[in-house]
Amino acid sequence: MRTQHRPSPAPARPNPWQWLRYAFGGRLPRGLSAWVLADTTRPGWARRHLARSVVQLTPLVVACMFVPVGAAYRLTAALGGLLVGLMYSLALMVETTEHRVAKAGYPAGTAARLREERAERARTARVEQRHPYRVDGAGSFD
């Protein structure tokens, strides 16, 4: 018998102030731990990570705009700071999300394991869609 993966109901979401604190690396209340795990493992987790990074870099970009030099220098500094910050954010994305999950009370490696399980389910679904005669692994590719 084949079991279907049913998504769990959406966990409670943080309010805007809690999310802003979370975006800057703060810990959320224990009641929002399920949301943290969902935020770091659902499809689009990398996009959400980059959005948090942009929020973190916003004060730097704004500060660059008030340095008393020419506009071209200010724009170059702001854009350069943003790009370098996003590069580091991308380079450390997996570690950062694992740290967020650990702060929420989950064992280290939980987010990566859940993302890998989701990717494996997606790969299996693609194979089954391409080869519909295969039911529960029965059949042959020959």
Query: pLDDT confidence of 141, banded at 50, 70, 90?
Result: low
Output 125 or 43, whichever has higher pLDDT: 43
Tokens standing for residue 131:
């080869």
Task: Name residues whose C-beta falls within 8 Å of residue 20's C-beta, 6 or more positions apart in sequence.
Answer: 55
Query: Per-residue pLDDT tens for 8-55?
Result: 566 789 999 999 999 999 999 999 999 999 999 999 999 999 999 999
- The pLDDT, as a whole number, for residue 128 is 76
Q: How far apart are CA 3 and CA 5, in angstroms?
A: 7
Answer whether 102's CB lies under 8 Å from 108's CB. Answer: yes
**Rounded distance between C-alpha atoms, residue 63 and residue 1, angstroms:** 60
pTM of the model: 0.77
Task: State the angle between helix axes of 16-23 and 45-64 in degrees (0 to 180), rounded to the nearest 10.
Answer: 80
pLDDT for 85 beyond 60? yes
